[in-house]
Amino acid sequence: MSTAAIVLLVLGAILLLLFIGGLAAARRRTVAGAGEYAEHVAAADQALEEARATDRGWDRERMEALARGALAEHRPGWRTEALHLILVEDLPGVREDRAHFMAEGSGTDTRIVLERGESGDWSVAKVE
């Protein structure tokens, strides 16, 4: 083999390794960014749900108190570390409105679903 051919093979191999390394680095960066992106989307969704609930005149404090009461009744001794509003179902009218809370604590998560009756009063639909 001539010297020129060996130099070209070595240069080609180096360029191939750099290309493969660049692809691997870009993939790692994309995967790491996807986790951060999902966290930002979740935070935005939660903020949107809170804003919708507040904007529609729903009494957030009263709803949280009802959710905490449902936890005390359905999960005696369960310690609530955090209570998050995660979903608002604001359908036309009052009767089909629902609010979903996620309670964190005691090593598990519990979903509490509240619903509104004809009079507009909130009640507990289910505790999961």
Residue 111 predicted with pLDDT over 90: yes
DSSP 8-class letter at 58: -
- How much is the pLDDT for 71? 93
The residue range of the domain holding 114 is 58-127
Q: What is the pLDDT of residue 5?
A: 86
Among the three residues 55, 75, 97, which one is the final residue of a domain in this structure? 55
pLDDT in the model for residue 41? 64
Could you tell me which residues come within 8 angstroms of residue 83 by beta carbon, excluding any fewer than 6 positions away?
A: 64, 67, 68, 101, 102, 103, 104
Helix (H) or strand (E) holding 110: strand 108-116
23 and 68 assigned to the same domain: no
For 66, other C-beta atoms within 10 Å of its C-beta total: 19
Report the alpha-carbon distance of residue 83 to residue 67 in Å, rounded.
9
Query: Cα dist. 41→10, 86, 100 in Å?
Result: 46, 13, 18
Tally of domains within the chain: 2
pLDDT for 73:
94
In the predicted structure, residue 86 carries a pLDDT above the cut 80: yes
Please tell me the predicted confidence (pLDDT) of residue 34. 62
Same domain for 109 and 82, yes or no, is yes
Q: Judge if pTM exceeds 0.75.
A: no
